[in-house]
Amino acid sequence: MAKKKTIRTIPQERTPMPEQDAQRRAHNFEEVACGYPIEAALNEAERCLLCPDEPCIAGCPVNIDIPGFIQKITEKNLRGAYDIITATNLLPAICGRVCPQENQCEGVCTVGDTLEPVAIGRLERFIGDAAIAEGWVNIPYIEPSGFKIGIVGSGPAGMACAADMAKAGCDVTVFEAFHQAGGVLKYGIPDFRLPNEVIDAEIANLMKLGVKFECNTLVGRLFTIEQMLDELSFQAVFVGTGAGYPSMLGVAGDSLNGVLSANELLTRCNLMRAKEFPDYDTPLPPAKRVAVVGAGNTAMDAMRVSLRLGAEKVYCIYRRSRTECPARAEEVHHAEDEGVEFHWHTNPVGNLDDGKGNVRGMRCIRMELGEPDDSGRRRPVPVPGSEFDFECDLVVYAIGTNANPIMGQTSSLKLNKWGYIETGENLATSVAGVFAGGDIVTGAATVIEAMGAGRKAAASMKAYLGIRATSVADLVGAASTGKLFGIDVKERNFARIRAA
């Protein structure tokens, strides 16, 4: 290895990622961030100090061996880097694009103390994309274990659990209610942030591992979880059905035509391809002025989709300030560059009716921070007399979701008081052999957390089924990290390594 790098010797500037021009991209659905070319990736990889205490690994929800894979990049060994990442993260091309790295690995990167942190997410994406382009996939030697596993929901939680169980030699079937697999990645996150080809490539990899996908299958109603365990003879089941059930504001005019949830807007546009109406049959309401309520990732996606669908004005209505906005910093920047108008400290009071049942505008009120409450948090309170109206022809609610009721209606799974599935530390539910993870357990969270939960549930499932050995690929790089998928070494059930 070359002489030790220091904060002075590394490239000082974070390597920029080529992006589509804001004016142009606001009107097309092509990907905004174009990815690193090889030179850029090599340059950025040089910025990593290979810190001995590896703070970034601890910052990553699935503890990817970050310095390990970055070092492989500096050695131009991209396949080696891919092997290290996929030892813990199955979907690098997806996570590299959508993870909130600024709050995770990059948030704690040593370089970040002095300069801009290493662009870990961009490097991860670079490796993920290289793998897709080269057709790499780590198919380990798999000895059939004879177990039949059912997975409900094909979002990141279900995909991650499916992959681990397939690698453990199980016969895995994923059931999905929609006609296409992918969960929120497919129906929610738009193409310009996460192209469908990337998701399909990752799904194809799962199929190469032997995972079967059964779309058009509404578990709970077509057959119940309990039936899966007896009549359909699955030995274990994982439930990763996601959050769903969008909240409505509960103000006047909620049911006017032109008021819809971000989930509906995004599903119509992304999954049903309403953006190509009438070539595709599903319509979307045409809108010139769009008000989006909320400021999370979902809200940012709704705003940027609205621009691309031809809106002239897009307003973001959020009752708190920019610093409290839950969306990724990068997404807020992107939305701003593309022309979204942000109205911080503003709360909707009601939607205005045009007399024919359509929305014609919105009434809002200004907010200010009140006295700290019991928890010490200063809640926004309305400023008396500050109501104002503005015109818009579409109102999109992106104010969060509640638990989807179908599992509760159709199974004996114990739910918590909010309707999410209750699980123990090992993600086992109240029904023996049934595990759950992802948004249906935690409420709306992130892709990487859902994936981590899927893997953790898979580990518990293996312990439950008494599967001891696992293939080598799972353990690449594991030795270098104290914790794997957030599980301590001593808890790991794959005690022995079986060589291919």
Partner 1 sequence: MQTIESKAETRTNAPSTFEIVTRKDFSDVTYLLEVRHPLMAKAAKPGQFVIVMLNEHGERIPLTIADFDRVKGTITLVIQAVGKTTKEMQLACQVGTRLYGMVGPMGIPSPISHAKKVVCVGGGLGVAPVFPQARAFKDAGAYVIGVVGFRNKDLVFWDDKFRACCDEFIICTDDGSTGIKGLVTEGIKQAIAKHSDIDEVVAIGPPIMMKGCAETTRPHNIKTMVSLNPLMVDGTGMCGGCRVKIGGQVKFACVDGPDFDGHKVDFDDLMTRLRRFTEQEKMALDRWLETCRMMNLPASSPASPVEPKPKGPRKAANSPARKS
Instruction: Give the per-residue contact string, 263-302, with ligand FAD (x = CB under 6 A; - = no).
Output: ---x------------------------------xx--x-
Window 62 to 101, contacts with ligand SF4 (CB under 6 A): 66-67
Q: Which of 96/242 has CB closer to partner 1? A: 242
Q: Pick the closer one to ligand FAD by CB: 74 or 297.
A: 297
Closest CA to 219 of 400, 402, 401, 413: 413
Beta-bridge mates of residue 214: 175
Instruction: State the angle between helix axes of 156-167 and 447-465 in degrees (0 to 180), rounded to the nearest 10.
Output: 40
Q: Which of residues 117-156 bind ligand SF4 (CB under 6 A)?
A: 118, 120
User: Which member of 33, 49, 139, 218 binds ligand FAD (CB under 6 A)?
Assistant: 218
Residue 138 engages ligand FAD in binding (rule: CB under 6 A): no
- For residue 64, state whether it binds ligand FAD (rule: CB under 6 A): no
Nearest distance, CB of residue 481 and ligand SF4, angstroms? 12
* CA 300 – CA 49 distance, rounded (Å): 34
How far apart (Å, rounded) are the C-alpha atoms in residues 229 and 465?
Answer: 13
Query: What is the C-alpha to C-alpha distance for residues 103 and 189, in angstroms, rounded to an integer?
Result: 20
Identify the CA nearest to 290 among candidates 321, 316, 271: 316
Alpha carbon distance 74, 11 (integer Å) = 13
The set of residues, in sequence order, having a beta carbon less than 8 Å from that of 490 and lying 6+ positions away, is none
Nearest Cα to Cα of residue 63 among 27, 81, 38, 88: 88
117 binds ligand FAD (CB under 6 A): no
Would you count residue 263 as binding partner 1 (CB under 8 A)? yes
Three-class SS of residue 199? helix
Taking a C-beta distance cutoff of 8 angstroms, is the pair 311, 280 a contact? no
Exposure of 476 in the CB half-sphere (CA atoms within 13 A) = 21
Site membership for ligand FAD, residue 188 (CB under 6 A): yes
In the window 50-69, what residues touch ligand SF4 (CB under 6 A)?
50-51, 54-56, 66-67
- Strand, coil or helix: 487: strand
261 forms part of the interface with partner 1 (CB under 8 A): yes
172 touching ligand FAD, by CB under 6 A: no
Of 478-497, binders to partner 1 (CB under 8 A) are: none
Q: Is residue 179 near partner 1 by the rule CB under 8 A?
A: yes
Q: Which of 427, 395, 368, 166 is nearest to 265 (CA)?
A: 395
Q: Which stretch binds partner 1 (CB under 8 A): 14-22, 242-250, 321-329, 334-342?
A: 242-250
Q: Distance from CA of residue 442 to its chain's centroid? A: 13
**Binding to partner 1, residues 278-297 (CB under 8 A):** 278-285
In whole angstroms, how close is the CB of 53 to partner 1 at the nearest point?
43
> Which residues of the chain form contacts with ligand FAD (CB under 6 A)?
98-100, 152-158, 175-178, 183-184, 188-189, 217-220, 240-242, 266, 297-298, 301, 404, 406, 438-439, 444-448, 450
Residues binding ligand SF4 (CB under 6 A): 48-51, 54-56, 66-67, 109-111, 118, 120
